[in-house]
Structure 1
Amino acid sequence: MDIAVFSAKPYDRQFLDAANADRRHRLKYFDDPLNAETVDLAAGHRGICVFVNDVADAPVLEALARGGTQLVALRCTGFNNVDLQAAADLGIKVVRVVDYSPNSVAEHAVALLMAVNRKVHRAYNRTRDFNFALDGLMGFDLCGKTVAVIGTGKIGRVFARIMLGFGCNVIGYDAYRSPEFEALGARYADAGEIGANADIVSLHCPLTPQTYHIIGAQTLARAKRGSLLINTSRGGLVDTEAVIDALKSGQLGGLAIDVYEQEAGVFFRDLSGTIVDDDVLQRLMTFPNVIVTGHQAFLTREAVSTICETTLRSITEFETGQPLTNEITAVMERKP
């Protein structure tokens, strides 16, 4: 089956080729992301394979359908970048990777938390210049602190388990309560309690119309002063302008993010030799208590291998007329 693979990085090619060795699909790789300007590259391909910042809105899907595309395979879990209703109307099937490695993302969230709390990024830069002074590097013990987990699916539960191992008090918030989360020794709390008591807030929920800017000016105003915010889920969960104001006032004590709401034109690219035309991101990067990584939380050998294997399996299911194990539809309901 002919597949156009968009936003293909070297690691994508390596692991997709390995997963495809026995399946023999014809994969054509494109460095470019999928959008209205690049959609014609997919013409003649029965399927396409896309990632988190590729655009599969109604106009793009219509162009894909005209070119003969019948399958959109997401090599990620989130699907907020796909117009599922338009896909259904056009008869295009959509599949995703439901589960790859919750450990990879949860562990990266912990790494970000430890780094921003203990000022590891600042210490690293200092010692590279042989500056071993400790002023300004003080953090706090995690043991005994209250950690709020927003979104208690698989990733959120792994993160919660790790935080419990540190001796933290873990509270959660989710529209769908998970018995597994409570079985860990964590408990659910309302938004008011989270705002008043959480020393650390970590986001692990999907981006939906209901969760868009779930962290905004009002949320931050109710937060415990000096608390830390971690986001390894989706950039649109956080109102970046509001976060900047909270950082400036000291209401927010630190921020560590692996995602950014306007990341599509920036992340997964080397812009070190250019001037980035994003004033909000430029302002954010000036704060000493902010860490930004470029959507790398998923990037472990185990996770990428599973992502590629699952994606190729879904493509084979489609080609051979089997039920699509990981299909998503416009009427799909989120499960805990």
Structure 2
Amino acid sequence: MRSADASRIAFFSSKRYDQEMFEPLAQASKLHIDFKEPRLDQTTAPLAAGAKHVCVFVNDEVNTSVVEQLASLGVEHIALRCAGYNNVDIESCRAAGIRVSHVPTYSPEAVAEHAMALILTLNRKMHKAYNRVKEGNFALQGLLGFTMHGKTIGIIGTGNIGKAFVRIALGFGCKVLCFDPYPDPSIISPNCQYVELSELFAKSDIISLHCPLMPQTQHIINTDSIAQMKPGVMVINTSRGGLIDTAALIKGLKSKHIGFVGLDVYEMESELFFRDRSCEVIQDDLFQRLSTFHNVLITGHQGFFTIEAVTEIANTTLANILNLNQGQPVAARFL
């Protein structure tokens, strides 16, 4: 095993905004960050040579092969700068003696607000109205929406983001149905109740996903679950792309059983998101088909992207690294 520098961080999937946020904090903490634009995978893992810490994001690939390579390079810590860790083989990391940390909470309101922004934009067709007015077209035909007040919103997953979204939905005067294997009694009220998943599917006008991606939730939105939903249902996903079977979603749109779709994540986004591909021919046929629907709105995994959230992510990620260097525990931030 090679020796690794405890002050050095191999920072994968780096963007300019990452550098602007992390670099001043790292310098103040006497940490050295090697910003690397490629995402971490089997081919790029050797770029971590010499670093004790590897910092990764949502679409970096940390499978068994990558973990073994990192361990051989002397890496002792994988620091996720996000909450979800479905892209990391935790058991392989344990076997290799590599610690894994994440950012369990960072402005959950940021993602919850983005979910509501998708709902409002789809419903009131803000994106279409904006383009029309820019062209001098003030006609209202085709812009008809519905009143949110009194609608039923189904929320799958009531962690920090899900609970933030509950508060927003209740503020709009909606009835809220929740599903989570671990109910939180603090959010139960006359207008917010936990129900079985089948009841949530059957009764919700809008369904918003806020659960982690794991084997139990992989393709939780599929052909069978879509068949249980109300005709014209709106489906929103700001969590992880793998929660939705994209082919089933397209079928639901084509049959008009699904009325609206708002996505900030996509099942195969690792090959697309966080890069400028405006001058490329996108090879993903499912994504291309999905983007042709007039009632589908896709954003490029920007739900987390607020000043407050990014600041908290940077502070927590570097605090995890410093605490590991100093041998200090960091409660739930370490997996």
Structure-2 separation of matches of 1:99 and 1:192: 29
Contact 1:161 1:184 in 2 (8 A): no
Q: Which amino acid aligns with 2:253?
A: L
- Distance change (3 Å), C-alpha of 1:124 and 1:24: same
Corresponding residue of 2:197: 191
Alignment counterpart, residue 146 of structure 1, candidates 144, 147, 152: 152
Q: Which amino acid aligns with 1:103?
A: E
Q: Could you tell me how far 1:109 is from its partner in structure 2? A: 0.4
Corresponding residue of 2:4: none
Q: Could you tell me how far 1:98 is from its partner in structure 2? A: 0.7
Contact 1:45 1:69 in 2 (8 A): yes
- Distance change (3 Å), C-alpha of 1:184 and 1:9: farther
Q: Which structure 1 residue ranges, 4+ long, deviate > 6 Å from structure 2?
A: none
Alignment counterpart, residue 214 of structure 2, candidates 208, 214, 228: 208
Q: Which runs of 5+ in 1 are unaligned?
A: 330-336
Q: Could you tell me how far 1:326 is from its partner in structure 2? A: 4.1
Q: Could you tell me how far 1:126 is from its partner in structure 2? A: 2.0
Q: Could you tell me how far 1:215 is from its partner in structure 2? A: 0.4
Q: Could you tell me how far 1:182 is from its partner in structure 2? A: 1.0
User: SS of 1:254's equivalent?
Assistant: strand
Identity of aligned residues (%): 47
Q: Could you tell me how far 1:21 is from its partner in structure 2? A: 3.6
Q: Which amino acid aligns with 1:247?
A: L
Contact 2:119 2:236 in 1 (8 A): yes
**Are 1:255 and 2:261 matched, yes or no?**
yes
Corresponding residue of 1:114: 120
**Are 1:230 and 2:239 matched, yes or no?**
no
Q: Could you tell me how far 1:127 is from its partner in structure 2? A: 2.2
Cα RMSD between the aligned structures?
A: 1.1
Structure 1 residues 50-108: Cα deviation after superposition (integer angstroms, max 9, x where no partner): 00000110100100111110000000000000000000000000000011110100000
Q: Could you tell me how far 1:125 is from its partner in structure 2? A: 2.2
**Are 1:97 and 2:109 matched, yes or no?**
no
**Are 1:38 and 2:60 matched, yes or no?**
no
- Distance change (3 Å), C-alpha of 1:246 and 1:297: same
Q: Could you tell me how far 1:321 is from its partner in structure 2? A: 1.2
Contact 2:103 2:333 in 1 (8 A): no
Q: Could you tell me how far 1:185 is from its partner in structure 2? A: 4.5
**Are 1:172 and 2:178 matched, yes or no?**
yes
Structure-2 separation of matches of 1:41 and 1:122: 44
Corresponding residue of 2:291: 285
Alignment counterpart, residue 86 of structure 1, candidates 76, 82, 92: 92
Q: Could you tell me how far 1:178 is from its partner in structure 2? A: 0.4
User: SS of 1:46's equivalent?
Assistant: strand
Structure-2 separation of matches of 1:27 and 1:183: 47
TM-score, normalised by the number of residues in structure 1: 0.96
Contact 1:35 1:60 in 2 (8 A): yes
TM-score, normalised by the number of residues in structure 2: 0.96
Corresponding residue of 2:63: 57
Contact 2:124 2:145 in 1 (8 A): yes
Q: Which amino acid aligns with 1:217?
A: T
Paired residue total: 329
Q: Could you tell me how far 1:10 is from its partner in structure 2? A: 1.1
Contact 1:97 1:326 in 2 (8 A): no
Q: Could you tell me how far 1:194 is from its partner in structure 2? A: 1.4
Structure 1 residues 248-295: Cα deviation after superposition (integer angstroms, max 9, x where no partner): 111000000000000001000000001000000000000000000000
**Are 1:13 and 2:24 matched, yes or no?**
no
**Are 1:324 and 2:330 matched, yes or no?**
yes
